[in-house]
Chains A and B, each alone.
Chain A
Amino acid sequence: MTIERTTALVFLICALAVPAMISGFVTFQLTMLLIYAIAIMGLNLLTGFNGQFSLGHSAFYAIGAYTAAILMDQFGIGYIWTLPAAGLVCFAVGFLFGFPALRLEGTYLALATFGLAVATPQILKLTPLEHWTGGVQGVFVMKPNAPFGLPLTSDQWLYYLTLAAFVLLYVLAKNLVTSRTGRALLAIRENPIAAQSMGINVSLYKTLTFGVSAAYTGIAGALGAIVIQFVAPDSFGFMLSVTFLVGVVVGGIAWLPGAIIGAAFILFVPNFAEDISKGLSGAVYGIIMILLIYVMPSGAGGIVSSALRVLRSR
């Protein structure tokens, strides 16, 4: 068995066992960690693997969250079904956004996606949409209980549900990036002109990747809405996009397991910084980030892959 498989197995066993040993609040935090990990994984597919920069993923997270909240609140749809629905809606939005993005490179794409991030919370507040979105107030949703009489608290059930979604989406992403499609994504990132001359339909792959990436982040948003039981426009600002990007970089560009590490970083390090100094928490967080990028410029993924290379060459 390879090191990768062993690690995955150990991770899974720990992840399954852990809720029995921790408090409801920590369970909730771990659920949020998995949710962020899904969002980061989605962004990594786009930015890390395909080389398309996005500062707009808070918008897809928001659209996913609102899709779930509105479907539950207005249409009485079961929360489970809101997850694929959020994925589909965000796939469509991401795919369509991918078309104009095709004409934009690097910094210009960053700027366009930044626009998306800035516009979305405002649009969600618009009066004509208020009937669905609840305007500034947002939408409250009911906390689901464990089904089939499972002996789990609501927090534990949502944790396991999120874990299942994470594992499923991880396996799909892993299959994708190790396949013909994944090679095409990397080839486009490395040299789009050569990729095209090798028979890759660059525009199609880029737009589809935008869609898939948005779908991942949208599903994360939907899970977030269910777990937090509330959506409001101002929780999905531009800073959330930056936070996801930090997660991608800390975890490792184009390294899927890094999503967990990146999510842990964006979830726990700000709290840790606050513990060190209440007044200067932002500065502490910033300095930790600078040090980290200095010490491991290619993120946790870079360290792991160098370690693996050393192990294998022995």
Chain B
Amino acid sequence: MTSPVASIRDVAMRFGGILALDGVSFDIGPEQIVGLIGPNGAGKTTLFNCLSRLYTPTSGDILLHGRSLLGRPAYSIAALGIGRTFQNLALFPKLSVADNIKVGGHAEIAGDFISDALRLPRARAGARELDRRVGAIVDELELGALAQRLVGDLPFGTQKRVELARALATNPSLLLLDEPAAGLNHEEVDELGGVIRRIRDGRRISILLVEHHMGLVMSLSDHVVALNFGRKIAEGTPLKVQADEAVAAAYLGGTAQ
């Protein structure tokens, strides 16, 4: 078997009296879409925040390409290859669509206060390179007509697309999507499925997908991990996890522990 892109190893995360994650382990393989499911409060977003170093796990380890992330500061994670979206949108509302996406490319180009203030050749070369990359992503996600609009003025569904575009601009090898389908209508969900698959196939990257929309997760994922109360209760192919009794019980609100 090829070595995994990311390994979550026995990760626990405690907030005061709440054990939001309780010894979770799984791997994300190359070019895999891994679905992460579980009822509200299961710990999915907490795991995302551990992966992007916004939280430091109480115990356990997280490896990216075999190297531990835990000694790394949160701002270095994008450059290491993890891009993400946020469950409740975390855009920059007073910036344009294009600028929001460009911020995603921050670590991809060089620059500093002095070369930017003096418009040194390296700053200008970086700006051109970023324009090119962002232009391609804008086309890919069909945001061209909106590029100069302020993000705060756009409808929710469009904002979600901008956030996805911004995550892509970090040029990730692992993309974390936290409920990308939430708040979208039926048609938009179908379209999103196609977009996610195209992203994986076109860039040959891995995706960790948190989603409550079961149709979407099950149709997209190569592998599914189910959490409940911070514990992994099932893992395997979509078919296997769908048939799992503990998973069914968790979603029915039963105590499957």
> Taking CB as reference atom, which chain A residue is nearest B93?
A190
- CB distance A199 to B94 under 8 Å? no
Q: Are B103 and A179 in contact (CB under 8 A)?
A: no
- Cα A180 to Cα B106 with chains together (Å): 7
B90 and chain A: residue at smallest CB distance? A194
Look across to chain A and name the residue whose beta carbon is closest to the beta carbon of B169: A198
B interface secondary structure, majority = helix
Q: Which of B7-15, B114-122, B190-198, B224-232 lies on the face that meets chain A?
A: B114-122
Stretch in B34-42, B58-66, B69-77, B210-218 touching the partner:
B69-77
Further contacts, 10 of them, CB under 8 A, given A183-B102, A199-B78: A176-B116, A180-B130, A181-B117, A190-B92, A193-B54, A197-B78, A198-B107, A199-B77, A199-B79, A201-B73
Q: Is the interface of A mostly helix, strand, loop or mixed?
A: helix
Interface status of B30 (Cβ within 8 A of chain A): no
Report whether B54 and A197 are in contact in the complex, using a CB–CB cutoff of 8 Å.
yes
Q: Is the CB of A181 within 8 A of B111?
A: yes
List CB contacts (< 8 Å) of A158-210 with chain B: 172-173, 175-176, 179-184, 186-187, 190-191, 193-202, 208
* Residue contact A179 to B111, C-beta cutoff 8 Å: yes
B104 within 8 A of A: yes
CB contact under 8 A between A200 and B116, given known A183-B95, A190-B95: no
Q: In the complex, which residues of chain A have a beta carbon less than 8 angstroms from the beta carbon of B116?
A: 175-176, 179-182
Question: B77: which of A182, A184, A197 is its contact (CB, 8 Å)?
Answer: A197
- Assess whether B113 is in contact with A212, with CB atoms less than 8 Å apart: yes
B119 touches A175 (CB 8 A): yes
Q: Verify A200–B111 contact, CB threshold 8 A.
A: no
Shortest Cβ distance from residue B204 to the other chain A in the assembled complex, whole angstroms:
21
- B148's nearest neighbour on chain A, judged by CB, is A312
Set of chain A residues within 8 Å of B113, measured between Cβ atoms: 176, 181, 208, 212
- CA gap between A179 and B117 in the complex, in Å: 8
Q: 3 smallest A-B Cβ distances: which pairs?
A: A199-B107, A199-B78, A179-B116
Nearest residue (CB) in A for B94 is: A190
CB of A197 within 8 A of CB of B117, answer no
11 contacts between A and B (CB under 8 A): A180-B130, A181-B113, A190-B92, A191-B91, A196-B74, A196-B75, A197-B75, A198-B78, A198-B107, A198-B170, A199-B77
Q: Which residues of B contact A191 (CB under 8 A)?
A: 90-92
Inter-subunit contact A197/B112 (CB<8 Å): no
Nearest-Cβ distance from residue A175 to partner chain B, whole angstroms: 5
The answer for the CA separation of A118 and B79 in the assembled complex, in Å, is: 42
Residue contact A186 to B111, C-beta cutoff 8 Å: no
Do residues A179 and B106 form an inter-chain contact, with CB atoms below 8 A? no
Q: Is the CB of B99 within 8 A of A183?
A: yes
Return B137 CB to nearest CB of chain A, in Å.
14
Residues on A with C-beta less than 8 A from B166 are 198
Docked CA distance A172–B170 (Å): 27
Taking CB atoms, residues of chain A closer than 8 Å to B92 are: 186-187, 190-191, 194-195
